[in-house]
Amino acid sequence: MHSNVFLKTRGLKKESYFIIILAMLFFVGLNPLLAQSKPDPKALIKQVDDLSDFSGKDFSAVFTIVTQKPGEKDSVTQARIFRRDLKKQFVILILLPEVNKGQGYLREDDNVWFYDPTSRKFSHSSMKENLQNTKAKNSDFTLSTFAEDYTVTKMTDGMVGKFPVWILDLKAKTNEVAYDRVVLYIRKDRTMLLKREDYSVNGRLMRTTAYPKYVELEGRLLPSQILIVDEVNKGEKSQITMAEQSVSPLPDRVFTKAFLEQVSR
Amino acid sequence: MNVVLLRIAARNLMRQRKRTMLLAGAIAFGIMIVTIINGFAGSFVKNISDNFSYLMGGHVFVSGSEYTPSGKRISIIRDDSVIMQALEDSGQKWVSLQKTSQTIATLIFEGKSMQQTLTGIDLSHSGMIKERLALVDGNWDNISWPNAIIISQSIAKKLNVLPGDVLVAQLQTITGQNNVGEFRVAAITIDSSFVGSMMTYVQLEYLNSLIGLGKNEYMSLGIMLERLEKSGPFANALYTSMKGMGLNLFDRSTKKEDGSMTPFQAMLLEQKTEQWTGTKYRLYTIDDVLAQAQQIVVALDTGSTVVLIVLFAIVMIGISNTFRMAMYERIREIGTMRAIGVQRNEIRSMFLYEALLLALAGAIAGIILALIAMGLLTFISFDPLSPVFLILKRGHFSFYVPPLRAIGNILLIAVLTLVAVYAPANAAAKLPPAEALRTVK
C-alpha cells in the first residue's frame, strides 16, 4: 500500500514538473509578444509632452476657469494665452474678472513676471504659482516636460472610466520640480492623458487633474476641458475650458513687457 | 551785559502785559508744535526698532545664502560652528541666540484657510517665547509636541481652531517643491500687538523637515543684545571676527554713490546679482533694515524746521511791527534817556534785550506746553491690531526730544526775534534826542 502511494506520488510529481516546464516555455515564447504591446514608458511620456509642444509655431487660446470653494460664490477667471514654445515664452492676459482685467504674466526663459496695471509695476512670479485665485498653476498652460523632469518608477495598467490606461508612476529627477511624484493615467489605444495625480514631497496627494475632453489642432490632441481638484483644501476645484485655440503666427512684440503695459491701458 | 538795561527791558515788557502775552504766546505755540514733532520723530525709530526686534527675534542677524547646482539661490546656514566661534572671538556680550527658519504657508482647517508666515524656532528651549507671549488657551507643556504650533487669538478665530486641533499646512520647500504638513495647535496667544498677532511659531526641526532643511540647519541666526544701541558696535566686531575666520561675507559698507540706496539695500542687490560658490553670509542689524525709517525721521525733522521757520516768519513780522509801534509810543522816553546821557548803542541794546527776553519766555513756555501736551498724548491707547502699533510704544505714543535739538530751537527763535527787532531798535537808537523830545503823540 505504501509503495503504491509512493509510486503514485512520484507519478504526480513528474506530471507537475511537466506542467511547470510547459507553462514556462509558453510564457517565454509569449514574452516578445507581451513586450511588444507594453510601450516604452519613457517614450510614452515623451509622446504626452509632444502633444502640448507647438515648437516652431505660435499658439494662442482663451481659457475660462470656474473655481469653486466651499462657502464662497463660484469665481470665473478668463485669460488669453499666447505661447511660443521654441523660445520658452508665454503671455497670460487676464480678461475676467473685471477687477483684475489687464493683469498679466510674461515668461522669458526661466523668469516669470506679473504685471499689475494699477501700480504699473512688474513683480517676480513663478511657474509654480497659482493663476490668480484658481487651482491652476501657471505651468498648467505651458508645454509639459515630464520626460525631462521625471523618471518612470513603475508602469501598470488599469481603467479610467471605460478606458484601459497605462498608469505611470513618475519620480522627480531633481528637487526643483513642483511635485516630487506624479502619477499619469494614459489611454492605451491612443496617447491621451486622462488623469494626473500630483503628490507632495512627503507623499501626500495634493491635486488630481482630469482631462475629460480633447480637441484636435494641427493633428495634435489638446485637452479642451480640464478639471483640477484640490485634495488638501477639500471641496476646492477649478474647471478649465479652452476656446478660440489657434496656431496662427503672433507678432514678436506680444512677448514683451511693453505689450502687457499697452494692452492694459 | 548791562544789568540796568536788562531791568529796564524787563520792566518795559511788563508795562504792556497783554501785548507781551500775545507775542510770547505766538512764539510758545510755534515752539510747542515743533517740539512735539521733534519728540515724535525722536522716538519713532526706537519704537519701530524695538517692535521689529520683537518680530524678528534679535538685534543683530546672520543669514546664509548659497546656490543649488541648478543655479537657484537658497537661504541656509548648514554648519554654524564657525559662526559660534566667531561670536566667542568677537569679545562681545549677548543676551540670547535664536536659530530660525521661515516659510509662508497656507493653513487649512475644516474648509477655512489663510496664508501665514511660519517661524520655526526651538520652542522647548526658547526663553523668548515664554517671556513675551501670554497664553489665552492651551498650555506651555504642549509646546514640546514635535509638530506644535503657537498661533495668535485672531488667527485661531479666523480658522476656528482650539488647542489640540490639527491644522494642515500647504507650503513649498526651499527649492520650490510643494509639500504638506500637519501642525497641532499647542497654544493660543493673546493679541498683545499688531506684531504679535502676525506671528505663528512652530518647531524648527519639524518645519525644517517640511521645507527640505536638515535637522541642524536653519536660515537665520538672531542675536538679542542688552540694548538696541549696542547693535552697531556688536555687528562691526562680529563682522571683523567672521572675516578673520575666513568666512565669505557680503560687504556691510557698500553704498550706491548717488545715495539712492542704503548699505543694506546695496547688500540685498549684491546678493541678487552676484554669483558665488559655497555659503555666503549676510550680517545686518535692525538699524540696517530700518535705514529707511531713519530717512523718515530726517524728513520729519526737516519738516518741523520748515514749519518753525514759516511760523516764525509770520510771528516775526508781528513782533517787528509791535516793536516799531513801541518805539513810537516811547519816543519821548527815548529822547529823555538820550538827553540824560544814554548812548545810542544802549538804546539799541535795550530794545534787543526786550526782544531776547520775549523770545526766551515764549520758547520756555512753549517747551513746557509741549511737555504737557506730549504727556497727555501718551494716555491715548491704540488698538493693538492697528498697523499704527508698529510706531508706538506698547500701544501708546511715546516722545523723545533730543536736548540739543530743543536748545537749537530756542537759539533759532532768539536769533530770529533779534533779527526782527533789529530794525526798529536801530531806528530808536538813531533818533536825535531833541527831535524825540519835541515829538507830541
A·B CB contacts under 8 A: 57
CA-nearest residue to A172 within chain B is B177
pLDDT recorded at residue B15: 85
Q: In terms of pLDDT, which residue wins out, A248 or B296?
A: A248
Task: Please give the Cα distance from B247 to B281 (Å, whole number).
Answer: 8
Instruction: Determine which of A17-21, A142-146, B48-52, B79-83 has the lowest per-residue pLDDT on average.
Output: A17-21
Residue with the three cell numbers 524695538: B50
Query: Which among B165, B200, B224 is the end of a domain?
Result: B224
Task: Please give the Cα distance from B218 to B80 (Å, whole number).
Answer: 9
Cβ pair B120, B204 in contact under 8 A: yes
B121 in a structural domain: yes
Contact criterion met (CB < 8 Å) for A234 and B70 = no
Nearest to B152 by CA among B167, B174, B135: B135
B370 in a structural domain: yes
Grid coordinates representing B413?
527763535
Among partner residues A70, A177, A200, which is closest to B179 by beta-carbon distance? A200
Cβ pair B142, B148 in contact under 8 A: yes
Among partner residues B72, B111, B212, which is closest to A70 by beta-carbon distance? B111
**Checking phi first, is residue B117 left (phi over 0); if not, alpha (psi -120 to 50) or beta?**
beta
Locate the DSSP E strands across A12-134.
58-68, 75-84, 89-96, 104-108, 111-116, 121-125
Identify whether residues B316 and B387 lie together within a single domain. yes
Cβ pair B160, B211 in contact under 8 A: no
pLDDT recorded at residue B234: 92
Count of the separate structural domains present in chain B: 2
A191-245 pLDDT, tens per residue?
899 999 999 999 999 999 999 999 988 888 889 999 999 999 888 999 999 999 9
Identify whether residues B102 and B219 lie together within a single domain. yes
Mean pLDDT computed over every residue of chain A: 84
Nearest to A121 by CA among A129, A113, A110: A113
Mean pLDDT of A159-175: 93
Per-residue confidence band for A2, with pLDDT thresholds at 50, 70 and 90? very low
User: What global pTM score does this model have?
Assistant: 0.70
**Checking phi first, is residue B235 left (phi over 0); if not, alpha (psi -120 to 50) or beta?**
alpha
Task: Please give the Cα distance from A122 to B73 (Å, whole number).
Answer: 21
Q: Is B55 exposed, middle or buried (0-12, 13-18, 19+ CB in 10 A)?
A: middle
Task: Please give the Cα distance from B213 to A44 (Å, whole number).
Answer: 35
B251 in a structural domain: no
Give the C-alpha distances (Å, rounded to integers) separating A52 from A100, A195, B51, B104: 28, 15, 51, 32
- From the CB of residue B66, how many other CB atoms can be counted at a distance below 10 Å? 17
CA-nearest residue to A202 within chain B is B179
Nearest to B191 by CA among B238, B158, B234: B158
pLDDT of A28 strictly over 50? no
Cis peptide before A97 (omega within 30 of 0): yes
Spell out the per-residue pLDDT of chain B, length 441, in tens: 678 888 888 888 888 888 889 989 988 998 898 888 888 887 877 777 777 777 777 889 999 999 888 788 889 999 899 999 999 988 888 888 899 999 999 999 988 889 899 999 998 877 777 776 778 888 888 888 999 999 988 899 999 999 999 999 999 999 889 999 999 999 998 876 656 667 899 999 999 999 999 988 999 999 988 877 788 899 999 999 999 988 998 887 655 555 556 666 666 666 667 788 889 998 988 878 777 666 777 777 788 778 777 887 888 888 888 888 888 888 888 888 888 888 888 889 888 999 999 999 999 999 999 999 999 988 887 776 666 666 777 677 888 888 888 888 889 889 989 998 999 898 888 888 888 787 765
Query: Which among B171, B198, B224 is the end of a domain?
Result: B224
A37-61 pLDDT, tens per residue?
788 999 999 999 988 888 888 889 9
| DSSP state at residue A107 | E
B175-200 pLDDT, tens per residue?
889 999 999 999 998 876 656 667 89
Which residues of chain B are at the A interface, by a Cβ-Cβ cutoff of 8 Å?
Answer: 68, 70, 72, 106, 108, 111, 113, 168, 170, 172-173, 175-181, 210, 212
**Checking phi first, is residue B11 left (phi over 0); if not, alpha (psi -120 to 50) or beta?**
alpha
Contact criterion met (CB < 8 Å) for A206 and B180 = yes
Proportion of chain B in helix, strand, coil states, percent, rounded to 5 = 55, 20, 25
Q: Which residues contact B432 (CB under 8 A, 6 or more apart)?
A: none
B37 in a structural domain: yes
Identify whether residues B368 and B303 lie together within a single domain. yes
Among partner residues A71, A176, A202, which is closest to B180 by beta-carbon distance? A202
Identify whether residues B394 and B331 lie together within a single domain. yes
Identify whether residues B298 and B421 lie together within a single domain. yes
pLDDT recorded at residue B281: 92
pLDDT of A124 strictly over 90? no
pLDDT recorded at residue A176: 82
Q: Which of A124, A175, A206, A231 to mutate to test the interface with B (most CBs of B within 10 A)?
A: A175
Contact criterion met (CB < 8 Å) for A176 and B113 = no
Locate the DSSP E strands across B123-162.
135-138, 148-152
Q: Domain of B136?
A: 96-224
pLDDT recorded at residue A23: 55
Contact criterion met (CB < 8 Å) for A172 and B212 = no
CATH of the domain at B156: 2.40.70
Identify whether residues B112 and B34 lie together within a single domain. no
For residue B49, how far is the Cα from the chain centroid? Answer: 7
Would you say how long chain A is, in residues?
Answer: 265
B288-342 pLDDT, tens per residue?
877 766 677 777 778 877 877 788 788 888 888 888 888 888 888 888 888 888 8
CA-nearest residue to B108 within chain A is A233
For residue A87, how far is the Cα from the chain centroid? Answer: 21
pLDDT recorded at residue B92: 87
User: Hey, is B12 helix, strand or coil?
Assistant: helix
Grid coordinates representing B86?
566667531
Contact criterion met (CB < 8 Å) for A128 and B178 = yes
Q: Which residues contact B440 (CB under 8 A, 6 or more apart)?
A: none
User: What ipTM did this prediction achieve?
Assistant: 0.78
Residue A172 touches partner B, C-beta closer than 8 Å: yes
B231 in a structural domain: no
Q: To the nearest whole percent, how much of chain A has pLDDT over 90? A: 42
Helices B403-429 & B291-329, crossing angle to 10 degrees? 20
- Residue B50: enclosing H or E segment and its boundaries? helix B17-56
Give the C-alpha distances (Å, rounded to integers) separating B387 from B57, B194, B292, B396: 19, 6, 17, 13
* Residues from chain B contacting residue A200 (CB–CB below 8 Å): 177-180
Identify whether residues B415 and B359 lie together within a single domain. yes
B169-181 pLDDT, tens per residue?
999 999 889 999 9
B189 in a structural domain: yes
pLDDT recorded at residue A36: 43
pLDDT recorded at residue B390: 66
Task: Please give the Cα distance from A253 to A260 (Å, whole number).
Answer: 10
* Closest chain A C-alpha to B173 CA, distance in angstroms: 9
Residue A37 touches partner B, C-beta closer than 8 Å: no
Q: Which of B72, B103, B112, B179 to mutate to test the interface with A (most CBs of A within 10 A)?
A: B179
Grid coordinates representing A241?
475650458
Identify whether residues B33 and B111 lie together within a single domain. no
Cβ pair A201, A180 in contact under 8 A: yes
Contact criterion met (CB < 8 Å) for A180 and B177 = yes
* Closest chain B C-alpha to A236 CA, distance in angstroms: 9
Task: Please give the Cα distance from B379 to B384 (Å, whole number).
Answer: 15
* Residues from chain A contacting residue B180 (CB–CB below 8 Å): 200, 202, 204, 206, 232
Helices (H), ranges, A153-234: none
CA-nearest residue to A198 within chain B is B178
Grid coordinates representing A182?
506624479
For residue B87, how far is the Cα from the chain centroid? Answer: 28
Q: Which residues contact B276 (CB under 8 A, 6 or more apart)?
A: B66, B67, B248
Identify whether residues B38 and B104 lie together within a single domain. no
Query: Which among B177, B199, B224 is the end of a domain?
Result: B224
Identify whether residues B209 and B153 lie together within a single domain. yes
Cβ pair A171, A183 in contact under 8 A: no
B419 in a structural domain: yes
Identify whether residues B110 and B216 lie together within a single domain. yes
Among partner residues A201, A202, A232, which is closest to B168 by beta-carbon distance? A232
Identify whether residues B418 and B319 lie together within a single domain. yes
B261 in a structural domain: no
Mean pLDDT computed over every residue of chain B: 85
Q: Which residues contact B7 (CB under 8 A, 6 or more apart)?
A: none
Largest CA distance in chain A: 103
CA-nearest residue to B71 within chain A is A176
Task: Please give the Cα distance from B401 to B34 (Å, whole number).
Answer: 10
